[in-house]
Amino acid sequence: MDFFSSQESLTTIQWALRAIVGFFFLALIAKIMGQRSISQLRFLDYVMALLIGNIIAHPLSDEELGLKGSMITMSVLVILYVAFVYISLRCNAIRKICEPSPLTLIENGQIFYKNLNKARISIDFLLTELRKEKTDDIKKVSLALWEPGGTISIFLKSQHQPITSADVTLTKKPFELPRTIIKERKIDYNELEQLGKDEQWLLNKINNTYRVNINDVLLATIDKNENIKIFLYQ
């Protein structure tokens, strides 16, 4: 296939084929590397993301560069990545380099400024993260950790934690997500079958409760008590 090699010029079809091959090859690479490389960029993941992005981008946009060499290079990098991750799981020294221990930013309401510098974050950034967690006072924080993935884990002191039903001995029913039975005027017969209902039951229920035509229904959901909520086209 000519589009794998370098050319003085490529046809439109060859450009398209090169893009398609590059896309699916990159998707395959991501699948092999696993969800870890996508969900969060740690040290090794960040290096790999930069390398792969640059390696695949150039031959996709430069007709004088062959795609074959880039794919071989990426394959070698992935093998190295998988091997390095495997070794790091069994070698503490390497694991500490790739996945260092969390840094304590706040403990018992006290800020560890040295660790802020180690994490290379500012006070403003820390306060922003606290506000995201609805924490208005640093003194309320029992522990705040800077995680290797670049996030802050915040734990409030017990007296400042939100009250739950367990704290006041309330009986809380288990949560059950409502089922979608109509979406964009179309009935989901599989959901109805799982509920032991049929189309006629649904139409009667909607007509008796809301007196609307199914063609006017954008979305309809049903809970475990067979209560139906509908959302009409506006």
Output the pLDDT for position 144: 92
- Contacts with 17 (C-beta within 8 Å, 6 or more apart), sequence order: 1, 3
Residue 145 falls within a domain, yes or no? yes
Distance CA 112, CA 90 (A): 31
Output the pLDDT for position 35: 46
Same domain, 109 and 186: no
Among 67, 94, 121, identify where a domain stops: 94
Same domain, 189 and 123: no
Query: Which residues partner with 110 through β-bridges?
Result: 107
Tokens of 153: 């884990």
DSSP string, 101-169: PPEEEEETTEE-HHHHHHHT--HHHHHHHHHHTT---GGGEEEEEE-TTS-EEEEE-GGGSPP-TTTTT
- Tens-digit pLDDT string for the chain (234 aa): 555 555 555 566 765 666 566 656 765 665 665 544 444 566 666 667 767 777 777 776 666 766 677 777 777 777 877 887 788 778 877 777 667 778 899 898 888 888 888 888 888 888 888 888 888 788 888 999 988 777 889 999 888 777 766 666 656 666 677 888 888 888 989 989 888 989 999 888 888 888 888 888 888 888 888 888 888 875
Residue 46 falls within a domain, yes or no? yes
**Number of domain units in the chain:** 3
Same domain, 149 and 199: no
- Contacts with 218 (C-beta within 8 Å, 6 or more apart), sequence order: 183, 184, 185, 231, 232, 233
Enclosing domain of residue 206: 179-232
Residue 113 falls within a domain, yes or no? yes
Q: What is the pTM of this model?
A: 0.53
Distance CA 226, CA 205 (A): 10
Same domain, 129 and 64: no
Same domain, 8 and 30: yes
Residue 166 falls within a domain, yes or no? no
Residue 32 falls within a domain, yes or no? yes
Output the pLDDT for position 224: 84
Q: In CATH, what number is assigned to the domain containing residue 220?
A: 3.30.240.20
Distance CA 22, CA 27 (A): 9
Tracing tokens 């093998």 back to the chain, one arrives at: 79
Residue 165 falls within a domain, yes or no? no
Residue 68 falls within a domain, yes or no? yes
Taking each helix axis as running N to C, give the angle between helix 67-88 and helix 43-61, from 0 to 180 degrees, rounded to the nearest 10: 170
Residue 152 falls within a domain, yes or no? yes
Cα–Cα distance list, 138 to 108, 125, 160 (Å) = 9, 13, 11
